[in-house]
Amino acid sequence: MKLFCPFTKVEKQEDGTLYVEGVASSEARDADGEIITAEAMQKAIPGFLRADGTGPVREMHALKAAGKTVEVWIDKAKRTRVSAVVVDSEAVKKVETGVYQGFSVGGKALARDAADPTVITELKWVELSLVDRGSNPDAVISLWKAEAMPETKPQRPFVQLASL
């Protein structure tokens, strides 16, 4: 499953890091024809967050730390929204230049809707990645910079989620 979430806000911080906001998941159907429910994401948030309340941010689902998630919430439109701090200098440059254009959630589908196996109803959320391209048809990017600031197909080990 591949879902893409574009950044909705990017702010350069005085220390060279970036504050980034965007959608981590929506109930949009992805390029593989799958949907992850907002309820599934809501249940997955506590397992994603570490004891300090942050979650890991990686690059392209690789085992390379790029920063940390500082806030996660579900909005009224049933989108899972996140704010994160990007600290890795290479990742910062890739966000600033538009190479990385959004978020993708890495995890594993644990349960699917019995009536429609394309709908994921439970998942284990492992990481959030900065990505260059996703497969959500609704994905468009808008950046603001501030001054000073079980279906028959095999399941993949990681689920990538996204949004508008």
Q: What is the pLDDT of residue 151?
A: 40
Q: What is the pLDDT of residue 6?
A: 67
| Residue with more model confidence, 17 or 10 | 17
Q: Give me the mean pLDDT over the 3-28 stretch.
A: 85
Q: What is the pLDDT of residue 91?
A: 96
Q: How confident is the model at residue 31 (pLDDT cuts 50, 70, 90)?
A: low
| Residue with more model confidence, 21 or 113 | 113
Q: How confident is the model at residue 141 (pLDDT cuts 50, 70, 90)?
A: very low
Q: Give me the mean pLDDT over the 100-118 stretch.
A: 92
Query: Chain-centre distance of CA 5, in angstroms?
Result: 6
43-80: pLDDT as tens digits: 999 999 999 999 999 999 899 999 999 999 999 999 98
β-pairing, 55-59 with 119-131? parallel
Q: What is the pLDDT of residue 73?
A: 94
Q: How confident is the model at residue 163 (pLDDT cuts 50, 70, 90)?
A: very low
Q: Where are the beta strands (DSSP E) in 3-155?
A: 5-12, 18-25, 35-36, 55-59, 65-74, 80-86, 102-112, 119-131
